[in-house]
Amino acid sequence: MKARQFKHAFLKRLGGIETFEQLMDLLPDVAFYVKDSQSRFVMSNRRHNEICHAASELQVIGKTDYDFFPRDRADLYVARDRQIMRTGIPTINVVSPAPEEEGSNRLIIGSKFPLKDRQGTIIGVAGIHRSVDETRAAPQSYGPFS
């Protein structure tokens, strides 16, 4: 069996998008989200919901960064969305201010990728990030991996 066929056969057995969402919710310190071309949230994992102070994904879907975060930070996030959708070039491991109250000096490291439909048209972005502070707090025993 060729690699692509093997992959598709396995993923089909997993059960589709619902299983993917469940897997994303299991990542305790990683925020994952998907936005449409107007930077409205379409998907949000458990950690991202927590960052948005939302009890569930249903309270996040259809809203934008401006509904949850200070204006200066929302401006930064939406500008990056637009750049990615305009150029098609992802941003990888970019350090940014954390999406919290103004005045906070916490940082996140994240990546955003363009999402394309079957015709190759960019229809949104997917993003993932985690706290830089949590990464720095890795145990010393991790040595060069922390």
pLDDT digits (tens, 9 = 90+) for 1-53: 688 888 777 777 776 667 667 777 777 789 999 999 999 999 999 999 999 99
Domain membership of residue 10 (yes or no) is: no
Domain membership of residue 66 (yes or no) is: yes
pTM attached to this predicted model: 0.79
Question: What pLDDT score does 102 carry?
Answer: 63
Domain membership of residue 139 (yes or no) is: yes
CA-angle at 38, arms to 36 and 41, nearest 5° = 45
Question: What pLDDT score does 27 carry?
Answer: 75
Count of structural domains, the chain: 1
pLDDT digits (tens, 9 = 90+) for 109-123: 999 999 999 899 999
Domain membership of residue 79 (yes or no) is: yes
List b or e across 27-54, with b for residues whose CB sees 16 or more CB atoms inside 10 angstroms: eeebbbbbbbeebbbbbbbbbbbebbeb
pLDDT digits (tens, 9 = 90+) for 76-92: 999 999 999 999 999 99
Distant-in-sequence contacts of 76-84, Cβ < 8 A, 24+ apart: 77/39, 78/39, 80/112, 81/35, 81/39, 81/112, 81/125, 82/39, 84/112, 84/113, 84/114, 84/122, 84/125
Domain membership of residue 3 (yes or no) is: no
- The CATH code of the domain that includes 127 is 3.30.450.20
Residues 62 and 50: their CA atoms lie apart, in Å, by: 16
User: Do 35 and 127 form a contact (C-beta atoms < 8 A)?
Assistant: yes
For residue 41, the enclosing domain spans 31-145
Residues 99 and 81: their CA atoms lie apart, in Å, by: 15
Domain membership of residue 99 (yes or no) is: yes
Model confidence at 140, pLDDT cuts 50, 70, 90, reads low
